[in-house]
Structure 1
Amino acid sequence: MPLVSTSNLAVHYGADIIFSGVDLDINERARIGIVGPNGGGKTSLLRVLVGLQDANEGRVARSNGIQVGYVPQHPEMQIGGTLREEVMRAFDQVRLLEKDLETAAQEPNDDAEQAGLRYAELLERYETLGGYTYERAVERMVDGLGLRAETLDSPASSASGGERTRAALAKALLGNPDLLVLDEPTNYLDLKGVTWLERYLTHFAPAVVVVSHDRYFLDEMATQIWEIDHGRMNTFPGNFSKYRVLKGERDLRQAKEYEAQQEFIAKEQAFIDR
C-alpha cells in the first residue's frame, strides 16, 4: 500500500488553475524529484501532500500512523530558543523518557518488583528510541550539514535563513519519518553539505519527495521525476538526465503527431472545398 496516494487532485486560486487531474502514489523507499516552472504549483502540491493545504478537488489518502517530515523553503523556528534546541526537538520523546527514568529511579515504591518492571519497560523503550546514541547522532547530522557549534548555540531569532534551513533539515532527518518532503533543500548548502545530503537521502532515508532546481542533486538522488507542466502532472522513471531525454522524445513525438493532424485537416478541407 502506498504511503500517500492522490486521486484527481486539483488546486486553483480563483479562476487560475494551478494543477488538476493529479493521480499519484508515493511508495516506501521512493526517491521522487518534482520539477517545473516557478509558480507552477510545486510548493502547493507539497503542502497538500503533507496536509497543510486543502485541495480544491480530489482526495489525498495517507497510511494510518504515517510520520511525515516536512521542510519548507523558509522554516519557522520557536521564538526564544536556540538552533540546537530546535534540532533537539526531534528527540522530545526520548528526552521525556529520560525524565521518567530519573523520576522512576528516585521514587520510593512499596512494591519493588512492580517498580523494577516499570523501570525496565521505560529503559527498553528508551533504548529502542535511540536514547543512548541520539546526542552523537545530532553531532554527526549538524556536522554533515555544516552547522558550527557556536551557530547552534546562538538564538534562532538571529540565525540566517540558511542556518535555519539547515537546522530544520537536521531536525527532520533525525526524526526518522516514514516520508521526507523537502522544498529546495540545497538552496543554502555548500558543495560538501549537498554531497552529504545526497548520500544520506540515497542510502539512509525513508521515502523522499523533493522539489529542487539543482539538476545535479536530482541526478544523484531521484529515481522518479514528477513534472508539473501547464497545470498537468507528467511522471518519468529515472533521474533528471533520464527525464530530459524522455521529455525530449515525448515532445518530438507530440510535435510529429500535431503536424500529421494538421496535414490531415488541411487535406480534408481541400477535399471539401473542391
Structure 2
Amino acid sequence: MNNIYFSLILLVVISSGFAQTNPELQKMADADQSERMSGNINWVELNKKDSIRLAKATQLFNDGELETAKDYYNAGIIFQHGKDTIASKMAVESFKKAIEMDSTLNRWWYAAAVDRDLMRREEPQIYGTQYVSNSSTNGKLKRYKIDTTKITDKERIYYRVETLEEQKQKERIMNLKSIFSFYVENSSIEKTIALIKNEKAKGKTSVYNVSESAINSFGYQLMGQNKLDESLKVLKLNTALYPKAANTWDSYGEILLKLGKEKEGIKAYKKSLALDPNNENAKNIIRKSED
C-alpha cells in the first residue's frame, strides 16, 4: 500500500510539472495589453474586444480550464477590464491565486485589482493604485479616495505599489504631458529624443513626463507599432539616463534580441541581472542562450 501511495504522489507531482499555460488565454492577455499600447486607441472597438475576451475567459474559468499560475494571471488581466463588480471580483481571485502559485509574478496586479474592485463598489481603495479624472478635478488625474489605515507602506512595497508619499509625487508626474503626444505631433524620433534629454535636465520643473517608466513605455509603444529601430534608440537612451535601473537594461535587451542582436542583448540582460539579482526574466533568457 505504501508503495502505491507514494507512486500516486509522484505521478501527481510529475503531471503538475507538465501543465502547460493555456495558449488561448495567453493570446487574449497579450492582445489585451498590446492593444492598449498602440497609441491611437479606438475605445469603442476595444470595449467590444474586451467583452469578447471576458466572455471566453469566464467560460474557461468556470469550466476549470485554468491550471497554471500564468493561466490565472492571464485571466486576471482580462477580468480586470470587465465593467462590473462580478468581473472585478474575479480579477482579484485570479491574481491572488496566481501569486500564491508563483510569487515571482508581478504582484502589483493583485493590489490594482483589489483597489479597482473597491472603487467599483464606491468604497475607498487601500493600496493607492487607482487614479481618476473628471470635472471635479478639472480634467487632471487625481488619486481616487483612499483609506490609509488598512495596510502599511511595507505591504504596499511588497505588492510593488508606491508608498503614500511616492503616490503624491506620482500624481504630479501623471499630469505631465506624454512623450508619445509630442512624437505624434512632430513625427520625428530625433526631435523626441532631444525633447527627452532637455526635459530630463529640467528635473521637477519638466513639462513632459520623462521618468524611467514613461520612457520605457514609449519605447514599448514604438515596439508595438513595429518601429523597432526607433524603439531601440529610445530604450538605449533610457539606459543612459537611468543606468542603475534594472528594468531599462531588461527592456533594452529585449529590443536588441528582437533585432537579432543576440550578443548585445544578452549583455544587456546580464547588466540587468547584476542590478537586480531577482530578475527571473533575465535569468531565463541568459540560461536559454547558454543551452
Q: TM-score, normalised by structure 1?
A: 0.30
More helix by percentage: 2
Structure having the larger proportion of residues in strand = 1
With the length of structure 2 as denominator, give the TM-score of the two structures: 0.29
- Say which one has the larger Rg: 1
Ranked by relative contact order (alpha carbons within 8 Å, sequence separation 6 or more), the top structure is 1
